[in-house]
Structure 1
Amino acid sequence: MVLDIHALFLRHAKEISNTLRRRGVTADNAADLTQETFLRLLSADSHAEVHHANPRALLHRIARNLRIDQQRRERLVLKDDLADEAFAAISDDKPLPETIVIDRQRLAIVTAALADLPDRTRQAFQMHRLGERTISEIAQELGLSTTRTWTLIREAYLHVRARLHEKA
């Protein structure tokens, strides 16, 4: 006897979900367990269970066993109810001390690398990166072409990047 999984799902899914709900399972969890029940039935295709005379009973047995397995797993997990303040205190957005030290070292390297650049290159880079100005605005202010301005900014980026990689 070959089971029509689609027809079984349409006929029994709601009933299985409701049975699980009556046994204290949340709606989302019941939906998950119901789907898992039908997946188990699909994966048991080669087993003798699939040729069960009463597929409804088989589905309920699978669902019950899945719920029992879930309860066993839940008992093993330690849970602790925390107040919102205590939960917020767990997460610390501050960077680690090591991160602060590394960031400061990198900032010092970037500052030194910028000091090494010619004035016009440094100025174009700072206007672009720190001043958030467009290349055409910078070119107009410095009296350069946009191509030359982009070349200066690119050179600055490459120089800073190279210095950072030297120290890494």
Structure 2
Amino acid sequence: MLDVRQLFMRHAREIHRYLRRRGHSHDAAADLTQDTFVRVMAIDAGEDYANPRAYLHMIARNLSVDLLRRERTVPFITGCDEHMQAVADPAPTPETVVYDRQRLAIVEAAIAELPEKTRRAFELHRLAEMTIAEVGREVGLSTTRTWVLIRDAYRHLRRRLNESQV
């Protein structure tokens, strides 16, 4: 019976070096080494091999040949980050759009539920980007009282959003 953990500890570096000598990059050799041990884990656990080291090398060689054939058939093209950004679609998924719209509707309704002075203080602070002191002067309250109103508004919004997730 093969103890994959022991085999890995004894032979992983050796398999990696073997694959590097066969011309694979460091990353490809690491992936193939890992794939080698995954294949060993997938075999019948009851089977016993006289020479597990040779068996590991045979699996690694076969995986190496498969990879080289695949690369010959479909060449691997490395691209810079700029090219990858051009391929990736920055638009949100339809599910994300629906989710965000639902949350926005909940926030709008929650803001409408706030008392007039609390709503005004919150909107001035959050939407008009005014400081708490500026909001306090605008609504005729102290900075401390203004902060309490804004804090209460945030708590109310958070509570409504959390209720919607249940």
Q: Residue by residue, what CA displacement relative to the aligned partner does 1:31-87 show, whole Å, maximum 9, x if unpaired?
A: 221122122112213475xx2222111111111111122223334445446577766
Q: 2:57 aligns with which of 53, 57, 60?
A: 60
Q: Distance in 1 between matches of 2:116 and 2:81?
A: 53
Structure 1: 5+ residue runs without aligned partners?
Answer: 100-105, 158-168
* Higher Rg of the two aligned structures: 1
Check the 8 A contact 1:17/1:34 in 2, yes or no: yes
The equivalences for 1:122-137 within 5 A come to: 123-130=120-127, 131-134=129-132
Structure 2: 5+ residue runs without aligned partners?
Answer: 98-103, 158-166
Partner of 1:149: 149
Partner of 2:163: none
Q: Percent identity?
A: 43
The equivalences for 1:1-168 within 5 A come to: 2-46=1-45, 48=47, 51-80=48-77, 123-130=120-127, 131-134=129-132, 138=136, 141-142=140-141, 145-146=145-146, 149-150=149-150
Check the 8 A contact 1:17/1:31 in 2, yes or no: yes
The count of residues paired between Structure 1 and Structure 2 equals 147
Normalising by structure 1, report the TM-score: 0.54
Paired residue type of 2:149: T
Partner of 1:161: none
Return closer, same or farther for 1:133/1:90 CA change in 2, 3 Å cut-off: same
Check the 8 A contact 2:32/2:64 in 1, yes or no: yes
Normalising by structure 2, report the TM-score: 0.54
Check the 8 A contact 1:127/1:138 in 2, yes or no: no
Check the 8 A contact 2:15/2:33 in 1, yes or no: yes
- Post-superposition offset of 1:138: 2.7
Check the 8 A contact 1:128/1:135 in 2, yes or no: no
Q: Secondary structure at the match of 2:50?
A: coil
Q: Secondary structure at the match of 1:15?
A: helix
Over aligned residue pairs, what C-alpha RMSD do you find? 4.9
